[in-house]
Chain A
Amino acid sequence: MRSLKRFGFAVTAVLGLVWGDSALAGPTLDGVKSRGVVTCAVNTGLAGFGMPDQQGDYKGLDADTCRAIAAAVLGDAKKVKFIPTTTQQRFTVLQSGEADVLTRNTTWTLLRDTEQGFNFAPVTYYDGQGFMVAKKAGIKSAKELDGATICVQPGTTTELNLADYFRTNRMTFKPLVVEKLAEVENAFFSGRCDAYTTDRSGLAATRAGKASNPDDYVILPDVISKEPLAPAVRHGDDEWFDIVKWTIYAMIGAEEKGIASSSVDDALKSEDPDVKRMLGVTPGLGKALHIDEKWAYNVIKQVGNYGEVFERNVGSKTPLKLERGLNGLWSQGGLMYAMPFR
Chain B
Amino acid sequence: MNASSTRRGSAWWNDERSRELLFQALIIGVVIAVLAYLGHNATVNLRRQGIVGGFGFLSHEAGFEISPALIPYTPADSYADAMLVGLLNTLLVAAIGIVFATALGLIVGLLRLSGNWLVARLALGYVELMRNTPLVLQLFVWWNLLRISAPGPRAAWQVLPGVFVSNRGVAFPVPEYDPGFRWVLAALLVAILASAALARWAGRRQARTGRPFPVLSAALALIVLLPTVVFVALGAPFHLDIPQLGAFNFKGGVTVTPEFAALVFGLVVYTAAFIGEIVRGGIQAVSRGQSEAALALGLKRRHVLRLVVLPQAVRTMIPPLTNEYLNLAKNSTLAVAIGFADYFSVANTILNQTGQAIEAMTLIAAVYLSLSLGLSLLMNLYNRRVALVER
> Are A and B in direct contact (Cβ within 8 Å)?
yes
Contact check, A118 vs B49: say whether CB atoms are below 8 A apart: yes
Contact check, A117 vs B352: say whether CB atoms are below 8 A apart: no
Chain A residues, CB < 8 A from B74: 167
Taking the complex as formed, is A212 at the interface, i.e. its CB lies under 8 A from any CB of chain B? no
Taking the complex as formed, is A144 at the interface, i.e. its CB lies under 8 A from any CB of chain B? yes
Taking the complex as formed, is A149 at the interface, i.e. its CB lies under 8 A from any CB of chain B? yes
Name the residue among B65, B249, B348, B355 with the largest chain A CB count within 10 angstroms: B65
Contact check, A88 vs B349: say whether CB atoms are below 8 A apart: yes
Taking the complex as formed, is A155 at the interface, i.e. its CB lies under 8 A from any CB of chain B? yes
Q: Which residues of A221-235 are within 8 A (CB) of B?
A: 234-235
The bracket for how many chain A residues form the interface is: 35 or more
Contact check, B49 vs A92: say whether CB atoms are below 8 A apart: no
Contact check, A95 vs B49: say whether CB atoms are below 8 A apart: yes
Q: Which residues of A130-167 are within 8 A (CB) of B?
A: 144-149, 154-155, 159-160, 162-164, 167
Taking the complex as formed, is B8 at the interface, i.e. its CB lies under 8 A from any CB of chain A? no
In the complex, the chain A residue whose C-beta lies closest to that of B353 is: A155
Indicate whether A177 sits within 8 Å of B341 (C-beta atoms), given known contacts A149-B249, A235-B49, A235-B50. Answer: yes
Taking the complex as formed, is A190 at the interface, i.e. its CB lies under 8 A from any CB of chain B? yes
The bracket for how many chain B residues form the interface is: 35 or more
Bound form: Cα–Cα A92–B355 in Å: 8
Task: Report A240 CB to chain B, min CB distance, Å.
Answer: 12
Q: When the two chains form the complex, which single residue of B75, B148, B354 contacts A167, counting CB atoms closer than 8 Å?
A: B75
In the complex, the chain A residue whose C-beta lies closest to that of B76 is: A167
Chain B residues, CB < 8 A from A175: 64-67
Task: Report B248 CB to chain A, min CB distance, Å.
Answer: 4
Taking the complex as formed, is B247 at the interface, i.e. its CB lies under 8 A from any CB of chain A? yes
Q: Is the interface of B mostly helix, strand, loop or mixed?
A: loop
Contact check, B348 vs A148: say whether CB atoms are below 8 A apart: no
Task: Report B262 CB to chain A, min CB distance, Å.
Answer: 12
Chain A residues, CB < 8 A from B339: 176-179, 183-184, 187
Q: Which residues of A105-134 are within 8 A (CB) of B?
A: 111-112, 114-118
Bound form: Cα–Cα A116–B152 in Å: 40
Name the residue among B63, B249, B352 with the largest chain A CB count within 10 angstroms: B352
Task: Report B348 CB to chain A, min CB distance, Å.
Answer: 6
Chain B residues, CB < 8 A from A97: 45
Contact check, A173 vs B65: say whether CB atoms are below 8 A apart: yes
Bound form: Cα–Cα A265–B147 in Å: 56
Taking the complex as formed, is A290 at the interface, i.e. its CB lies under 8 A from any CB of chain B? no
Bound form: Cα–Cα A187–B147 in Å: 8
Contact check, A192 vs B65: say whether CB atoms are below 8 A apart: no
Taking the complex as formed, is B336 at the interface, i.e. its CB lies under 8 A from any CB of chain A? yes
User: Chain B, 236-253, contact with A by CB distance < 8 Å: what is the 0/1 string?
Assistant: 000000000011110100
Q: When the two chains form the complex, which single residue of A117, A145, A192 contacts B49, counting CB atoms closer than 8 Å?
A: A117
Taking the complex as formed, is A191 at the interface, i.e. its CB lies under 8 A from any CB of chain B? yes
Taking the complex as formed, is B167 at the interface, i.e. its CB lies under 8 A from any CB of chain A? yes
Chain B residues, CB < 8 A from A164: 63, 75
Task: Report A166 CB to chain B, min CB distance, Å.
Answer: 8
Q: When the two chains form the complex, which single residue of A87, A96, A149, A163 contacts B168, counting CB atoms closer than 8 Å?
A: A149
Listed in ascending order, the chain B residues whose CB lies under 8 Å from chain A are 45-46, 48-52, 63-67, 74-76, 147-148, 152, 167-168, 246-249, 251, 258-259, 336, 338-339, 341, 345, 348-349, 351-355, 357
Listed in ascending order, the chain A residues whose CB lies under 8 Å from chain B are 87-88, 90-92, 95-97, 111-112, 114-118, 144-149, 154-155, 159-160, 162-164, 167, 173-179, 183-184, 187, 190-192, 194, 234-236
Q: Can you give 30 A-B contacts (C-beta < 8 A)? A: A88-B352, A91-B352, A91-B355, A92-B351, A115-B52, A116-B49, A116-B51, A145-B248, A146-B247, A154-B64, A155-B349, A159-B64, A160-B353, A162-B65, A164-B63, A174-B249, A175-B66, A176-B259, A176-B339, A177-B341, A179-B345, A184-B339, A187-B147, A187-B339, A190-B147, A192-B168, A234-B48, A234-B49, A235-B49, A236-B50
